[in-house]
Amino acid sequence: MNGRPGRHGGRLMWHYHKIAKSSAQPWLLRCFPVCSSTEMILSHWLQGMSEPQQPCAIVATHQRWGVGQWGRNWSSPTGGVWISAALPWQGKVLGGRVGLLGLAVAVALAERLERHGLPVQIKWPNDILLHGRKLVGLLPSVIQRGSRVRIFRIGLGLNVRNSVPMKGIALYQLDRQRAADPAYWTAEVLLAFDRCYQSGGDGSWCLSALQRRLWANKIYHPRDGRIWRISGLAADGALQLQHGNHTEQWHHLYS
């Protein structure tokens, strides 16, 4: 059972309109106190639409079976931001640059977090770190027709007042964020989505900003056991590595 949509989206939208003011977008939201998975519900919702004409999202206070990268379980207890959104997209994505759209969301949300004095870094390709610990996880995907992206989907989890594992961090653990409110931070996430939606295109606007926020300059290579230098980012968002005279590009994180 996915449960029924609740009415607790009112406070979220109050925060959103207060922050966004005249730049607010016409979001369609369905908010659930508890659900199986925001990704699953969003998929079912999209199946009932010919094609969304405005941004839409599923928000849950708690997910029972959240889905993360590689289909792993995404722990989603009460107190965090758990959201899956679909953005109508008009644009041709060239040269396999679809991955840039997810990175653009990471940059846009990093910018929102930095407004609150949070020195975040982006762990390529799908996480945002704070003090070296995971604060945000992202799960981007697209629906295409030919070479054109028609819908950009993004699943996102942000730790606010929820319990977190040892390698994670939640905003309430910080002195200046002890009263962190999940509804307020969901509104901040919508503002980050708005930034990407309004920018459109293939996400390449984020590259220089992403480069400045990378979490490390070296990375362990699991296939050869050596430490490789991160030399930069390719035009499609791939991570560029170098070891001596050898170079390599990663389009996903090896694990």
Task: Read off the pLDDT of residues 26-41 as tens digits, 9 standing for 90 and up.
Answer: 999 999 998 888 999 9
The verdict on 113 and 42 lying in the same domain is yes
Beta strand residue intervals within the chain, DSSP E: 28-32, 56-60, 66-67, 73-74, 81-92, 120-123, 127-130, 133-145, 148-158, 218-220, 227-233, 239-243, 246-250
Q: What share of the chain is helix, strand, coil (3-state, %, to 5)?
A: 30, 30, 40
Would you say residue 3 lies in a domain? no
Among all chains, which residue has been given the structure tokens 């405005």? Answer: 54
Cα–Cα distance for residue pair 210/100, rounded to 1 Å: 10
**Over the Cα atoms of the chain, what is R_g?**
18
Cα–Cα distance for residue pair 124/7, rounded to 1 Å: 36
The verdict on 110 and 16 lying in the same domain is yes
Contact assessment for residue 86 and residue 51, using Cβ atoms and an 8 Å cutoff: no
Contact assessment for residue 36 and residue 65, using Cβ atoms and an 8 Å cutoff: yes
Those residues whose C-beta lies under 8 Å from the C-beta of residue 234, and which sit 6 or more positions away, are: 240, 249
In the chain, how many domains are there?
Answer: 2
The verdict on 140 and 228 lying in the same domain is no
In this prediction, residue 176 carries a pLDDT of 87
Closest CA to 152 of 42, 73, 235, 12: 42
- Per-residue pLDDT reduced to its tens digit, 106-134: 999 999 999 999 999 999 999 999 999 99
Would you say residue 233 lies in a domain? yes
The verdict on 236 and 186 lying in the same domain is no
In this prediction, residue 72 carries a pLDDT of 59
Would you say residue 179 lies in a domain? yes
Would you say residue 4 lies in a domain? no
- Per-residue pLDDT reduced to its tens digit, 52-100: 889 999 999 988 765 655 555 666 889 999 999 999 997 666 555 678 9
The verdict on 157 and 191 lying in the same domain is yes
- Per-residue pLDDT reduced to its tens digit, 134-158: 999 999 998 887 777 889 999 999 9
Give the end-to-end CA distance of the chain in Å, rounded to a whole number.
33
Would you say residue 177 lies in a domain? yes
Q: Could you tell me the pTM of the whole model?
A: 0.91
Helix (H) or strand (E) holding 37: none
Would you say residue 76 lies in a domain? yes
User: Which of the two residues, 7 and 54, has the higher pLDDT score?
Assistant: 54
In terms of residue numbers, what domain contains 226?
Answer: 218-250
Would you say residue 235 lies in a domain? yes
Would you say residue 93 lies in a domain? yes
The verdict on 173 and 243 lying in the same domain is no
The verdict on 44 and 166 lying in the same domain is yes
